[in-house]
Structure 1
């Protein structure tokens, strides 16, 4: 019995050490198992690839058709009258845009040069007083054209807000009882508008322009002397434009 008691006491003293050995063995087995599991092929599906959003650029040559309203005003000096004439415009436009992309310290500024020409559609307008013609003189214009520079800032999704200005061309026709006189004129134009690219190549436009074709002298037979006619115009135009060039490109990620 004494020996049994001694053995039991010895086992109790050794038990903590055995417990530590057992726990260490379990921990080591868990680490080995985790390492082996990491080397096994994953059963999870790969992440879904999301293509980066494409970049639209305004750079490129473009052509289009345009049309709208022409609210023209004639001021005659001798007749001391101002005549307002509402007409239509229909024509074409060609131009080139360059998107700076950070040059000159300005990001995405759009610079452009554009030319356009349109026919002025509408009848002649006569001198009147209180709605009644007082002479046979009538005023008319046949065409309107311009060469303009443009500065724009991309906004929203694919919209371009811009201002434009340059040289305007046009004519003024005065018909009298003995004939008619037509003179071509050079003036200036300023305006603003918005372009919207609803596809990578097709662009819609809405624009306002002010045109001043200046003052020119002519012989007014009905009034018996030299006369002077001033022509100005407010134009509201819409256009459908096709932009040439490569399609938009995707964003390339850098690591």
Structure 2
């Protein structure tokens, strides 16, 4: 009997072991795949638009006023001694567009080149008496448009770019003037003559800014530029009095603050 029980138990164990051997061994579940987002690259061409505000000053030096006989009016001390005429502030809005190219190195430094063109509403005017007895002058300056071609150097913190920039600047300045004789110390409109002149100045610009990539294509920017359009000789011929004109050397500088949006290709 005991022998029979032992034999039965042995047979049961053998069959159980064979069944267990046929069962699959448990395996560890594969690790879930982790998505790797590549860092943003600033390399590529871009195109966009901008708008902002500019403020600066226009100064005319070596101003000479010629009448129809060739005589020269010279401002007296206390009026505009030294023949210098300085406008108070050449302020106004700006709007335009920009295009450029950036290249980002593996160490996150970014180099690029950019060109922009701006229309402006910056203008200023003044009036004064050349001498205590006249004549009476009115003058106005308008910065009609300007553009720049600049190199850029910056450092990228992923989607944030901090940069400096500088290069060539050019722009069109329109000056106008009128001259009136005095009648009892009051400007006489019947003797008023006027004229205007347009000149394109060239110079330099320097500045810097911040850019942030909202997406892989759309980029926002905040920027400051200082623009010096150099000096240019201006001659304004006055209509109504043949032979009368004003000569000066114009000097214009302006500060620009603007916001921009660009599309990166």
**TM-score by shorter chain over 0.5:** yes
Correspondence for 2:182: none
TM alignment of 1:1-255, pairs within 5 A: 40-42=24-26, 44-77=28-61, 78-101=83-106, 107-127=107-127, 135-155=137-157, 157-177=158-178, 178-219=194-235, 225-244=246-265
Alignment gaps of 5+ in structure 2: 1-16, 62-82, 130-135, 179-193, 239-243
Shift of 1:49: 1.7
Shift of 1:208: 0.4
Shift of 1:144: 1.3
Return closer, same or farther for 1:114/1:128 CA change in 2, 3 Å cut-off: farther
Q: TM-score, normalised by structure 1?
A: 0.71
Return closer, same or farther for 1:61/1:41 CA change in 2, 3 Å cut-off: farther
The CA deviation string for residues 55-114 of structure 1, in whole angstroms up to 9 with x for no partner, is: 21101010000110111211122343242121111111000111122xxxxx12111011
2:86 & 2:163 partners in 1: Cα distance? 36
1:209 & 1:196 partners in 2: Cα distance? 18
Q: Which one has a larger percent helix, Structure 1 or Structure 2? A: 1
8 A Cα contact 2:91 2:123, kept in partner: no
Determine which structure has more spread, i.e. the larger CA radius of gyration: 1
Q: Which one has a larger percent strand, Structure 1 or Structure 2? A: 2
The CA deviation string for residues 204-245 of structure 1, in whole angstroms up to 9 with x for no partner, is: 00000000001122235689653122100000011010000x
1:127 & 1:206 partners in 2: Cα distance? 37
Q: TM-score, normalised by structure 2?
A: 0.68
Q: How many residues align?
A: 199
